[in-house]
Amino acid sequence: MLSAMKAVVFLLFVFTRCVNGRGVKVKENDKIGAVDLLDLRNAMLCGMNGYWSYLGYGCWCGPSNLGFIATKPGTPPVDDVDNCCLKHDLCYEALAGQCGWAAGHRIGYDSSCTKNKTSVCSSENDFCGAGACKCDVEFVECLKPYPIPNERAKCPSQPIGNVFRAGLDAVQNFLEWIG
């Protein structure tokens, strides 16, 4: 079990160093671009900081509705932040049915960051890209009233997810330590 946990932590470290754009600042009028996995992160960088803090938070926050790890339908969110994640997942599920792709699949879209730190979806996005952008912008706006979490809330119905969260916390602490 420990070696599996080490492997997960290592892979997360590599992924975050290669993909998360650590140190990337989104400035006013920057085009955010159509890079599938990075669109939500970019919308969050435009509107707020702390995007890493939401990965694995509660029952519903995480990529592809892993919720960490595969939240059962009907599981209540642990708090208001987790509820924003649930709403985001449901937004993507509704869009997935209309766009013909599986829930959790991301589609690229174009957006820009305004002076008031809001992502604005490009009018040139197709239907699915516009919908994905709208889901992400609504998610960021939902999170804005709440402070960035210092700790990841645990989902009571997911003991394995809680072990994974401990690995995420270790990776986050390491990344902060190496600065």
Active site residues: 88, 136
**Which of 1, 13, 19 has the alpha carbon at shortest distance from 175?**
13
87 SS3 class: helix
163 SS3 class: helix
Quote the tokens at residue 73: 């339908």
112 SS3 class: strand
**Which of 84, 94, 93, 89 has the alpha carbon at shortest distance from 143?**
84
